[in-house]
């Protein structure tokens, strides 16, 4: 398929980035690009599959000819059921199969990981809503500048650890010296950068560190001062003017 890696991802972070980008492509196919996807799945054509590519794109193609295939294959023949079901039910079925395929590919790459690495990979993957959850409205795909596990609208500095120790990540009323990251702007300055993210809920800026930067799908994994980790879409946050890069 187009957009495939020339070399297989080898670390937990690489496999997670691969998973995230493929997932992004599948979500586009089933949401913003759904009309085009629907048209491509012509029941009169041969068995078709929906692929999410590691560059964040998607495509509808015939299955791989290699036996066994280089990677686990998506559900075969999704086009045949298109006109025999309600559109929303058919899309939901494709979403569920897409989620299963994403997991298969991720753990195919992770087959040589040890138990701790596989657990770490699953935790990363499980921090994201599934394609089906996005499609069904059970989850919102737009990343928010908030810590995983925090109560809605509650910044990380107000969250307590499970052992009862307080977390100290006080918010700032104004951003520190730096620059506001522009949407679609160059990402070089974000590599291992100290940043501040604005939370509209309480009008405060919260410090974080970029620990992993994916320039292909323009996302960043950030570590808050609380110890919480979150993966963000850079352009979505930048579009709101909510990302300050400290200098």
> Residue 131: beta bridge partners?
none
Please tell me the distance from the alpha carbon of residue 40 to that of residue 36, in angstroms, as a whole number. Answer: 6
Tokens of 175: 């951003």
> CA dihedral in degrees (40, 45, 47, 50; nearest 10)?
-10
Task: Give pLDDT, residue 138.
Answer: 76
**Nearest residue to 241 via CA among 175, 150, 170:** 175
Task: Give pLDDT, residue 61.
Answer: 95
Task: Give pLDDT, residue 143.
Answer: 41
Query: pLDDT for 165-205, tens place per residue?
Result: 333 356 788 899 999 999 888 999 999 899 999 988 778 88
Task: Give pLDDT, residue 139.
Answer: 64
Helical spans, DSSP H, in the chain: 12-30, 34-40, 87-109, 115-126, 131-136, 234-239
Higher pLDDT, 162 or 81: 81
Residues whose CB is less than 8 angstroms from the CB of residue 142 and which lie 6 or more positions away in sequence, other chains included:
233, 236
Q: Identify the burial level of 160 via C-beta atoms within 10 angstroms of its C-beta, where 0-12 means exposed, 13-18 middle and 19 or more buried.
A: exposed
Query: DSSP class of residue 228?
Result: -
Task: Give pLDDT, residue 97.
Answer: 97
Please tell me the distance from the alpha carbon of residue 133 to that of residue 140, in angstroms, as a whole number. Answer: 8
Q: Are 220 and 238 in contact (CB under 8 A)?
A: no
Q: What is the mean pLDDT of the chain?
A: 84
Residues whose CB is less than 8 angstroms from the CB of residue 214 and which lie 6 or more positions away in sequence, other chains included:
17, 20, 21, 220
Please tell me the distance from the alpha carbon of residue 224 to that of residue 154, in angstroms, as a whole number. Answer: 13
Higher pLDDT, 54 or 68: 54
Q: Give counts: helices (H), strands (E), the chain.
A: 6, 8
Task: Give pLDDT, residue 170.
Answer: 64
Task: Give pLDDT, residue 230.
Answer: 82
Q: Identify the burial level of 105 via C-beta atoms within 10 angstroms of its C-beta, where 0-12 means exposed, 13-18 middle and 19 or more buried.
A: buried
Please tell me the distance from the alpha carbon of residue 110 to that of residue 117, in angstroms, as a whole number. Answer: 8
Query: pLDDT for 134-159, tens place per residue?
Result: 888 876 444 444 433 333 334 443 34
Q: Are 38 and 89 in contact (CB under 8 A)?
A: no
Task: Give pLDDT, residue 162.
Answer: 38
- Residue 62, pLDDT > 70, answer yes
């Amino acid at each position: 398929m187009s957009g495939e890696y020339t070399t297989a991802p080898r670390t937990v972070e690489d496999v997670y980035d691969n998973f995230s980008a493929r997932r992004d492509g599948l979500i586009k196919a089933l949401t913003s690009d759904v009309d085009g996807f629907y048209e491509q799945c012509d029941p009169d054509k041969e068995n078709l599959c929906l692929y999410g590519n590691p560059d964040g794109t998607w495509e509808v193609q015939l299955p791989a000819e290699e036996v066994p295939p280089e990677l686990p294959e998506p559900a075969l023949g999704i086009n045949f059921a298109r006109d025999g079901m309600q559109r929303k039910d058919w899309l939901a079925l494709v979403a569920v199969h897409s989620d299963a395929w994403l997991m298969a590919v991720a753990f195919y790459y992770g087959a040589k990981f040890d138990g701790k690495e596989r657990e770490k990979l699953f935790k990363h993957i499980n921090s994201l809503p599934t394609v089906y959850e996005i499609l069904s409205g059970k989850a919102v795909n737009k990343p928010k500048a908030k810590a995983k596990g925090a109560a809605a609208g509650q910044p990380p500095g107000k969250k307590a650890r499970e052992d009862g120790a307080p977390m100290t990540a006080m918010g700032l009323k104004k951003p520190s010296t730096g620059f506001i990251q522009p949407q679609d702007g160059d990402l070089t300055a974000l590599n291992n950068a100290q940043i501040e993210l604005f939370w509209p809920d309480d009008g405060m800026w919260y410090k974080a560190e970029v620990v992993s930067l994916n320039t292909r799908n323009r996302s960043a994994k950030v570590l808050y001062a609380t110890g919480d980790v979150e993966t963000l879409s850079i352009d979505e946050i930048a579009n709101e003017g909510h990302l300050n890069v400290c200098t």
